[in-house]
Structure formats: structure tokens, C-alpha cells
Structure 1
Amino acid sequence: MRWVTFDCFGTLVDWRHGIRTSAELVAPGQGARLLEAYNRHEHVVQAESPTLRYRHVLAEALRRACADENVELNGDDAAVLGTTLPYWPVFPEVGAELSALRAAGWRLALLTNCDRDLIAETRRRLPVAFDAVLTSEDVGAYKPADAHFETFRRSYEPARWVHVAQSYFHDMGPAHRLGIPRVWINRQGGRPADEKVIQQELPDLGGLLSVVENA
């Protein structure tokens, strides 16, 4: 079986838009600042508590972001990200590119730092079905730990496997470490800390099939 595995949030779903606009609901005018502050905290919370459910990671990272930016949260406002996540928008090219992969005979899987219930809601918005999903809740860890990748390899024994993701930190690092062919979806236009970690690079999923076929 030939498999392409994907990270979901940031790669297929517009994670930055989701964080920013959701933060605006509880702190009008502060969404952009809170997004950048949130980015500093999420991976720290995940490393501190690898088995913490993702909706609680979202809430704690938002609380810390608000503390950094002197933004007051009221009541259960910190739950807003977990509440809105199933409605975060899918990038416009995703449907066509995933359909092309499936038509060419590739099987598709998600390796996601998310809970089962949240990804189940998100999958309803994805325009193409996936053959397998592994969550942090399933493997008891958050990327960049190796657990998602090792569990997938053990469970599905892929004859050929390419991993596609936007996050250099969460996905490209462990895929490189484990020798998995990989495509970096560089939506933010920055440069990686270590260029040799990147094998193939695209600005979005456009043209993914030909890159995967040659990875």
C-alpha cells in the first residue's frame, strides 16, 4: 500500500485563521496578538502534559497567551478554541489535491495532535475521506514525539510512505529523524532552522501529486 500521511491543522485546515478569529470572539481587537502569543505556549503545554486532552491544551495555552498580553478572560472563555475548532476553514486547494492523490492510488491518513472527538467533527468538513486517523489521544503523546509515526508504521506497514505537513517543528523534525520521505508545506514563507531536514517544499498543496510521486 502507498500512503500519504498529513498533519491536519495548519496543513489542511487554516489553524492560524481559526486561532485568531476565535480569540477575537472573547477579546475583540486582540486576535493577532493572541495568535502569536499562543504559538509560544502550545508546544510547551503539550511537552509538560503529553496525555492532556487537546481541548484542554488549547484552553491552557490561550490562558497563558492572555496573561502574556494582559488580556482578561471571563468565565469559561478559554474554552472558545475547542468549541470553534470544528468550524475552522479548510484551505481552498485541499479538495482537488487530495482527490488527485486518491485517484492515483495513494491511501490517505491523518497524524494529528488532536482528540478523537475534535478530529471527528473536523473530518466532516474535509472534502475527501481518509483511510486512517491517529490522534494524540490514541498514541498518548504529542508531536514532535515519535509516537504517531512509529504507531502508523507498526499498524499499517506501508510499502511506500510520504509525510506532508506545514509544521517544521512538529512534523518535519521527527519525519527526518525516522527517515520518512517528507514534503514541507511552507505556508508562512520562512526558512527552516536546518535546511537538510527539508526534502521537498511547496507553498501550499498545489501540485502535491507530482511531488509525492517523486519523493
Structure 2
Amino acid sequence: MTPPRAVWDGIPVLHLDDALIVVDKPAGLLAVPGRGADKADCVAARVQRHVPDARIVHRLDMDTSGLMVLARGAAAQRALSIAFAERRVHKTYVAIVAGVPLPPEAPDGCGDVRLPLIVDWPRRPRSKVDFRHGKPSHTRWRPLALERWGPLWATRLELQPLTGRSHQLRVHLAALGHPILGDPLYAEGAARKAAPRLLLHAAELALTHPVNGQPCRWVCPATFSATSG
């Protein structure tokens, strides 16, 4: 686990140097400003109050918690944006999903979801599986533990998005019939009511430092449990 170095306006800061900042985004906080004055509060705004040259290079959904990296200055932003676009940044998430997915048959114990995704424009911000117009999307998943959440049996999964589509993890798991607990967009009934928040957390982030070229890795375990929510 990477311990926080500071807490800025409720956001734990795990790393800070001249090129990048890594924070633990709380669930329920926007990554960037939305439309309207009521959506101005976000990770970017809070971090920039402390480090004015901080710039966004990727986002997490408002309902998702966990590791998020910001660049410092235009050169670092450009280098990190390219690394994300070229899939040289490795991200691992943890989620609690409804039910018990069939065990993967692969020797490494991981399952694959390859379902093409597209934004569901009439129902934005939702996305959907679309075999005709959707973009190729690939998620790897690995079961970690079976858990009891109220009346539901649920499974804790490790997830790796090998592409970066909007709501990819949420849509892929819902399409498998195992929506993430507490998901306000893709879960229904007991699965939606089983948790007070979306149980999806960005738990690990690894990349090459944009200035010194050194490998970097941060770990921030999910704190949600069947008793804490």
C-alpha cells in the first residue's frame, strides 16, 4: 500500500514531484468540472488550489474511487497522455459484483470480456454493447473472493481494462449478468440497493515516469466491505 503524503481538501495525495501527482479520488467527486456552477467542485479544481500547474490526463467516473494521476505542466501532460493512448499505463481495479461468475477456464485464472461498446446517446451518460457500431473493448477479470452483501451472494473481482471506453468495466460486467453492486446506471433491484455507492475502486496504477524514465507503481486497496459499504 502506498501511504498518503498529504490530504488536500479531502483528497489523499500519494505522490508529488515536479512532473506528476497521484491522488486517491473519493467516490462521488467529479474528476473534472461538469456543466453548471453546481458541478464546479472536482479533483482538478481541488488539486489546482495547491498545485496550479496540475493538468488532467485521464478520468475516473464520479462514482468510482481510487488512483488518479495528474500531470504538472504541458510537457508532462503530453507525455502522460500519449502513454495512456498507447496503453502503456497499467490499471487494476477491484469491484464487488452480484452473483458468482463462472470460473475462468484459462490457466492463469483470468476471464476475458470482448464486447464492443458505444455511448448510448439517447440515455447519456450510459454506454451500451453494440456489435454493429461499437468500438472494440477488452476487459480481463479474476475472481478474488465470495462475499455476502445483505441478501446477495457477491464476488470480489480484480479487473484490468485493456481498452479505455466510457463505463467499460460497468457495462461489461452488467452484460455478463453480474453488475457491480450499487451501480446507479447498470444495476437494478437488489444489486443496486446492496451498497450505498458504486463498489468500483482503482486500486493499482503503474507507468513510466515522464521525465526520468523510471518505472512507477502505486497501490491503494479498496476499503469497502460488506459491513462498511
User: Which TM-score tier does this pair reach, normalised by the shorter chain?
Assistant: 0.3 to 0.5
Higher helix share: 1
What TM-score comes out, normalization by structure 1 length?
0.33
Higher strand share: 2
